[in-house]
Structure 1
Amino acid sequence: MRVRVRKMIKQLDETRLENGRAVDPVHRVAFAGAVIENPYPSEYVQDLVTLADELGEEIGELVGPACVELLGGEVEAFGKAALVGIEGEVEHGSALIHNLRFGNVFRSVADGTELLPAAEKVGLPGSPMDIPIKHKKDAKTRSHHQTVTLQVADVPRPREIFVVCVAANAGRPLARLAAFGAETQNQ
């Protein structure tokens, strides 16, 4: 089975100033997503894994490399998300993105080793997606814990799923919290 793609979405956000201060290097966040026809039937089916295994790599190849290319430099943080149209289930999106055949494509091209943080939900067209991102090699790197938002006016339609990869070139703009666990060092 081939994935049926209605449209591809690519967006690059650059933060140059934060709270009146220059952000150096410029904080870049790339989003690459595919709006696909929901491959699952609208009625309940028990086995979602077999189809997700068949489609995972193909979907990963659509969005993972495109995300890294759009970022235009080394990836430091990453994440993924699925927004399912109202005639589908959140489990449909989960099956597609929580699949190693999907995730390994993005992890490989981003040179990451950590599991990809994720968000998935069912929503109407234009629903915002709040997507968590973390450091690609050490999920405990506190400066890279962040949630980024993507919203596309006509996505998803009722029988669609919007699958997205996100990559950032650095931690949060002006990150200055102590390293993970530092607050317990002097106790």
Structure 2
Amino acid sequence: MTISVRKTVRHLEVTELENGQPVSPEHRLAFVGIVIENPYGSGYTQDLVTLADEIAESIGDLTGPACVELLGAPVEAFGKVALVGIGGEVEHGSALIHNLKFGNVFRNAAGGTELLPAAEKVGLPGDPIDVPLKHKTDSKTRSHHQTVTLQVPGAPLPNEILVGCVATSSGRPLSRLATFGAETGEK
């Protein structure tokens, strides 16, 4: 099966000042997403895995490496997202992004080893979705726990899915929490 892409979305944010304080080095955040025709159509589909195995790597090829390239800096934190149009079900998006053929493309491009945190839901065109991010090699790195809100005007339509990858060049701007376990003496 071929993927029918209606649009590709690329978004880059560079934060240089946070709460009146300089952010150095600057915090870079990149999002690359594609809006595709829902390959499962509308309604219930029993076998989601066979089709996901067939197309997930192609979707990863279109989003993961492009996200890393757009970031323009080494990736430190990452996440993934699927926003399904109201004609589908959340499991349609989950099948595509919770597939190692999708995830490994992005993980390899980013130099990551951790599981990609994810957000998936059904929504209307232009609905926001909050995407969790974690450090690419150590999910216990608190400074890199962050959530990004994404929104693509006019997408997804009822018969579409927005699938994407998010990466940052650092942890939260001005992060200053103690390391994981410090409050209990664990490390």
Band the TM-score falls in, shorter-chain normalisation: over 0.9
* TM-score (norm: length of structure 2): 0.98
> Taking every aligned residue pair, what percent have the same amino acid on both sides?
72
Return the alpha-carbon distance in structure 2 between the equivalents of residues 53 and 175 of structure 1. Answer: 38
User: Do the aligned residues in 1 keep the contact of 2:42 with 2:87 (CA within 8 Å)?
Assistant: yes
Aligned to 1:107, what secondary structure does the other structure show? helix
Q: Which digits, 9 at most, give the CA deviation of each residue in 1:56-82, with x for residues without a partner?
A: 100000000110000001000000000
Return the alpha-carbon distance in structure 2 between the equivalents of residues 131 and 25 of structure 1. Answer: 23
Structure 2 counterpart of 1:80: 80
- Counting only pairs closer than 5 Å after superposition, residues 29-178 of structure 1 correspond to structure 2 as 29-178=29-178
Return the alpha-carbon distance in structure 2 between the equivalents of residues 163 and 2 of structure 1. Answer: 15
Aligned length: 186
The alpha carbon displacement at 1:42 in A equals 1.4
Q: Which amino acid aligns with 1:57?
A: E
Q: RMSD between aligned alpha carbons?
A: 0.8
* TM-score (norm: length of structure 1): 0.98
The alpha carbon displacement at 1:43 in A equals 3.0
Q: Which amino acid aligns with 2:77?
A: A
Distance 1:152 1:41, change over 3 A: closer
Q: Which digits, 9 at most, give the CA deviation of each residue in 1:27-63, with x for residues without a partner?
A: 0000000000000031322110000000010000000
User: Do the aligned residues in 1 keep the contact of 2:79 with 2:131 (CA within 8 Å)?
Assistant: yes
Give ranges in structure 2 of 5+ residues lacking alignment: none
Q: Which digits, 9 at most, give the CA deviation of each residue in 1:107-128, with x for residues without a partner?
A: 0000000000000000000100
Aligned to 1:156, what secondary structure does the other structure show? coil
Range that drifts further, 38-47 or 114-123:
38-47
